[in-house]
Chains A and B, each alone.
Chain A
Amino acid sequence: MIQDYLFPTSVEEALKILVKDPEKSKVIGGGTSFYIDGKELAKDISYFIDLGQIKELGEIYEEDGFIVMGANTTLTQCSKNPLIKENYPALVKASANLGSTQIRNMATVVGNIVNGKPFSDLATVLMALDAVFTIEDQDGSRETKVKDMYHKLGISALKATELVTKIKIPKRVQGEGSAFQRLEIREGLSFPVINVAAKLVVDKNIIKDAVVTASPLAPGPKVIEAIGEFLIGKEATDDNFVEAGLLATKSIKFHTSPLNCGAIAGVTCKFENCHYCLNPVPSTAQYRHEVLPVLVKRCLSLALEEIND
């Protein structure tokens, strides 16, 4: 039962409160995912620690070659911010299409990663953009990449006494473009069947860098290494993008979503590594593997179109 709802006004204060009783505290950003799958958890929680009043976490600014986004940035703010729009078309696309307007007005970018969901749109994009998370606790701060933000299926690697305070993304370089594709059963308010994000750096039509990521794969999204290895040094042509798509499907392993987990009935799933929780949209591994090349090709072509001169 909730005893108190606290609004710390600085990161130091938030960490001080958090460390008192970390197991019984819940850090709230937007709070949207908590009320979807957290109703049962709420029984064990005594304190909500809301970061909404910490002003320093609400800013988006440029610093030392990075765009820095505070942990309170909502998806709406992210998708409309001029710095983000200028630098990361993929991030704008992903944050402008997640959930619904009502959800995007509350939900934070950081929350979409720290809730540990394997089908996170934002994690897929941030991994492709090589984002760095700043995590603070009372002993200091550390930095980590998206791949180290996941502990196991559905559980983030964030410790109970830690807070994510900001995300740093390297600024767009000359000739860089990015794109995001989400296969979904309807537009809006749905979980993805597959997410694919791509970052491409091209100089005189020769590919200098190519990073393609996909989800849902346990526990977080994955970089499809084979694509980078294949594309770098080659020409940015449709044929090469098609080939990259075919390579993708050989180098990652999707799962079929079974329909026998408690989460369907609204009960918290008790299985470890449950494939339904991993892929909540009913779909088969075979289907996912067949459509992946199309999405990868589309994503790379869109990233090429987005390249700045």
Chain B
Amino acid sequence: MSLKKISFFLNGEAKDVYANPGDMLVDVIRDKLGLLGTKVGCKTGGCGACTVMLDGLAVNSCMIPVGKVAGKSVVTIEGVAENNELHPIQEAMMEDGAVQCGYCTPGIIVSAKALFDENPNPDSEDIHRALEGNICRCTGYIKVEEAIVKAASNIRKEG
């Protein structure tokens, strides 16, 4: 086993991790760094449960060798809330009951955050496109979309 030191920013903090550079990012986040919010679903980029932000963009952490993130910034679900305050999308999803079994929820929240960071005023099509890669097997998409619309309006009010 050939381990390398890989340095990157995880949720804003500099981290050094010793891993094989070919290991998947999701495995390193969960098994080496102990952040279990990022879920493993299909491991083939099809379900979005493992979605994280890499330099601000939503990506599937099951398709990225950890070597690729050296020097980059990774944000997981644990980094979405700031200063002990939930992100408006997290609040809205709780209030609207946009969660059923919850397995897809971290991925959906990270995808929604990436959307808001780029476009604070998304329309229905923008939301559909942003969540295209997040599959919810409880089929709770309607409440999720409603929560995102609500969060967007809350963000605008605050901003």
Contacts and interface: CB of A to CB of B under 8 A. Distances in A.
Nearest to B1: A1
B138 to A, nearest CB: 18
A100 B48 CA distance: 9
Given A1-B2, A48-B65, A99 B45 contact: yes
Interface stretch (A2-10, A113-121, A293-301): A2-10
B32 to A, nearest CB: 16
Interface in B117-159: 129-135
Contacts of A3: 2
Given A3-B2, A48-B65, A100-B132, 15 more contacts: A5-B67, A7-B70, A31-B63, A32-B60, A35-B24, A35-B63, A36-B63, A50-B67, A100-B48, A103-B45, A103-B63, A103-B133, A105-B54, A105-B58, A106-B64
Majority secondary structure of chain B interface residues (helix, strand, loop or mixed): loop
A234 to B, nearest CB: 37
B153 to A, nearest CB: 22
A34 B51 CA distance: 18
B148 to A, nearest CB: 14
Given A48-B21, A188-B133, A102 B48 contact: yes
Cβ-closest 6 pairs across A and B: A100-B133, A5-B67, A2-B22, A5-B21, A188-B132, A105-B57
A143 B67 CA distance: 31
Interface string B67-109: 1101000000000000000000000000000000000000000
A157 interface: no
A189 B133 contact: yes
A246 to B, nearest CB: 34
B62 interface: yes
B68 to A, nearest CB: 6
Interface string B26-40: 000000000000000
A248 interface: no
B20 interface: yes
A32 B63 contact: yes
Interface string A94-113: 00000111110110000000
B5 to A, nearest CB: 11
B136 to A, nearest CB: 13
A149 interface: no
Nearest to A46: B2
Contacts of A52: 68
A3 B21 CA distance: 8
B28 to A, nearest CB: 13
Nearest to B55: A105
Contacts of B4: 4-5
20 contacts: A1-B2, A2-B21, A2-B22, A3-B2, A5-B21, A7-B70, A32-B45, A32-B63, A34-B63, A35-B24, A42-B22, A48-B21, A100-B133, A101-B111, A102-B45, A102-B51, A103-B63, A103-B133, A106-B63, A187-B132
A103 B45 CA distance: 7
A1 B1 CA distance: 8
B59 interface: yes
Contacts of A18: none
A46 B101 CA distance: 40
Contacts of A201: none
A101 B114 CA distance: 10
